[in-house]
Structure 1
Amino acid sequence: MDTGTGPRADGAEGTAAPGRAERGRGVLEGAFALLEALRRNGDETGVTELARACGVPKGSVHRLLDQLVAVGAVERRDSRYRVGPQLYRLGQAWEPHPGLRTAARLPLQHLRAVTGASVVLTVMRDDMAITVSSVPGDLEPLLPVRDGIAFRLDTAAGTALKGPLRGGAVLDREDVMDGVCCAALPVRTPDGRTVAALAALVPAGRGLDALARAVAGTGAALTRALARSGQRRPLPAAVLLP
C-alpha cells in the first residue's frame, strides 16, 4: 500500500506534502456532490443552483465544472450543465451481480409486453432498493421508472429484497402510492441467494393475482438465465493450465 512516504529521486527520504491528500479528498467530494446534484435535478442546471444545492462557493463550482467538462463527465450548453456521456458509460459498466443486467433484459421486456406493467429490477444499496434495469409501462407519466431511481425498503420491491420469501409475491394494493399497485418477488441465484428483486407496477384496479403469476414466471426465467450465464463464464487461467 502506498503510504505517501518513500525514497525521492535524489536518494533522500520524502514525505507527501501535509494536507495534500485531504485536499484531494475535498476536491473529489465536491465533484461528486456536483454530479449528484445534477443527477437529482435531471435537467440542465446553472451554477447558482448547483452552488446552493451543494453548499459550495460559485467560484469553486465553476472550477470543478470546468474539470468535469474536460473529462466528459459533464456537458455544458451555454451557461447550463448536465450529466455527460462519459459518466453514463462508466455507470453502464457497473454490474451488481455477474451477468444480472444482461440476463434480465429479455425477461423484463417480455413481462412488460404481456402485462403492460412498468417493470423494475432492483438491488439493495445503502438501505434503498436501487433500480438497475427498467422498462416503462402503462403508469407513465404517473410514476416514471428509470434506471437509477430508488425505492424505500417498505415498498414491495424493498420487502422482496430484505429477506427470504416463500409462498408467493409481495403485493402492494395502493399501500405506498394512491393509484399504483405492485407485485414483487426476490430474484435468486441457482444456489438460493437473493441478488435482486423483480417488481411489476400497474394502475389500481388491475388483477394482482394474474400479475403475481406473470412476475413469478419472469423471475424463474431470470434465474435460469443467470444459471446459463454462470456456465458460460470462462474458468480462471490458473485452472486451465496443465
Structure 2
Amino acid sequence: MLTDGSDVRLTEADAEGEAGRARGRSVLAGAFALLEVLADAEAELGLTEAARRAGLPKSTTHRLLEQLCGMGAAEHRIRGYGVGPMFGRLCEGRGRTHAWLRAAVGRPAVRLAKLSRSDVVVGVSSGSEVLVVATFAGHSARLPVLRPGTVLASPTPLVDVLFNGAEEALGSARAAGLSCAAAPIHAPDGRVVAALGVLGSCPAELARLRYLVVLAAGEAARELTGSPRVR
C-alpha cells in the first residue's frame, strides 16, 4: 500500500511524546525521592549521601537539589542540604486538612471509643500506604499504639477499605499484639476519603464490634455532608 509517510511521522511523534512523558515522570520521582530523604534525615545531608539514600546518580542529584533550592522546597545549608520553607508550608496545608477531618469524625469516633472500650484510629491514603491522622483513646484511657503520623503498609484493614473497596474489614493492624476492624468514610459524592478503625487485642471481640464500626463510619460520612472542603 502506498503512503506519503505521514503515518510514520505520526508514529515518531508519538514515540517522542511518550519518551518525554517518561522523562518527566522520572525527574518528578527523583525530586520526590530527594525530598523524602531530606525530610527523614536527622541533620542536613551532603550531596554524596543524599544521592546514595535517594538511589540517584550524583550529577542528577546535584541538578535536582539546585532546582529544588531555587523553588524553596530544599535549601543549601552550611553542612549540606535540608528541606526548605516551601516544604514546611505544604506540610502545614496538609495538617490543616487533617485538622478539618479530625473535627468532622471526632464525635462518632469518640462515641465508638467509649462504646467499644477500645482505641479508635482514622487514616487517609498516602501513596500506597495509610497515614494515621487521628487517634481516640477508649474507656481504659490507654494511649493508642498507632499515633498520628504513623504510616501503615499493607496488609491492614485500613488499607483494605481505602484501596481495595471493602465496606468493612478485620485483621492485623501491624501493631504489637493488636487487631483492627475498619470501615470506609465516604464523601457526599461516594468517594472514600478516610478509614475508621477500632483496635483491640482480641480478634473475636472486634468481629462483634464490626457493626458499631460501620455505624460510626456512616455517622462520620454524614458529618462530612455539609462541608464544602470535601473535594
Pick the TM interval, shorter chain: 0.5 to 0.7
> Closer, same or farther in 2 for the Cα pair 1:73/1:32, shift >3 Å?
same
> Closer, same or farther in 2 for the Cα pair 1:75/1:201, shift >3 Å?
farther
2:86 aligned residue: 86
Give the aligned residue type for 1:151: A
Give the aligned residue type for 2:64: L
Q: How big is each residue's C-alpha offset from its partner over 1:63-86, in whole Å with a ceiling of 9 and x where there is no partner? A: 533442343312555425443341
CA RMSD of aligned residues (A): 4.3
Q: How big is each residue's C-alpha offset from its partner over 1:29-73, in whole Å with a ceiling of 9 and x where there is no partner? A: 43223113334x353352233211233344543453344234331
Correspondence for 1:146 among 137, 146, 149: 149
Kindly indicate whether the alpha-carbon contact (under 8 Å) linking 1:122 and 1:198 is maintained by their aligned counterparts in 2: no
Correspondence for 1:187 among 185, 188, 195: 185
1:199 aligned residue: 197
SS in 1 for 2:56: coil
2:161 aligned residue: 160
SS in 1 for 2:227: helix
Aligned residue pairs, count: 198
- Distance, in Å, in 1 between the alignment partners of 2:42 and 2:53 is 14
> Closer, same or farther in 2 for the Cα pair 1:58/1:124, shift >3 Å?
closer
- Distance, in Å, in 2 between the alignment partners of 1:209 and 1:180 is 13
Question: Residue 69 in 1 paired to residue 79 in 2?
Answer: no
Identity of aligned residues (%): 32
- Distance, in Å, in 2 between the alignment partners of 1:29 and 1:90 is 17
- Structure 2 residue runs of 5 or longer lacking an equivalent are 1-15, 138-142
- Distance, in Å, in 1 between the alignment partners of 2:160 and 2:28 is 34
Counting strand residues as a fraction of each chain, which structure ranks higher? 1
Q: How big is each residue's C-alpha offset from its partner over 1:140-171, in whole Å with a ceiling of 9 and x where there is no partner? A: 4xx55417x3431x311122232253xxx422
2:4 aligned residue: none
- Structure 1 residue runs of 5 or longer lacking an equivalent are 1-17, 234-242
Question: Residue 225 in 1 paired to residue 226 in 2?
Answer: no
| TM-score in terms of structure 2 length | 0.61
1:30 aligned residue: 30
Kindly indicate whether the alpha-carbon contact (under 8 Å) linking 1:108 and 1:218 is maintained by their aligned counterparts in 2: no
> Closer, same or farther in 2 for the Cα pair 1:33/1:175, shift >3 Å?
closer
Q: How far off its partner does 1:191 sit?
A: 5.8
> Closer, same or farther in 2 for the Cα pair 1:106/1:66, shift >3 Å?
same
2:123 aligned residue: 121
1:43 aligned residue: 42
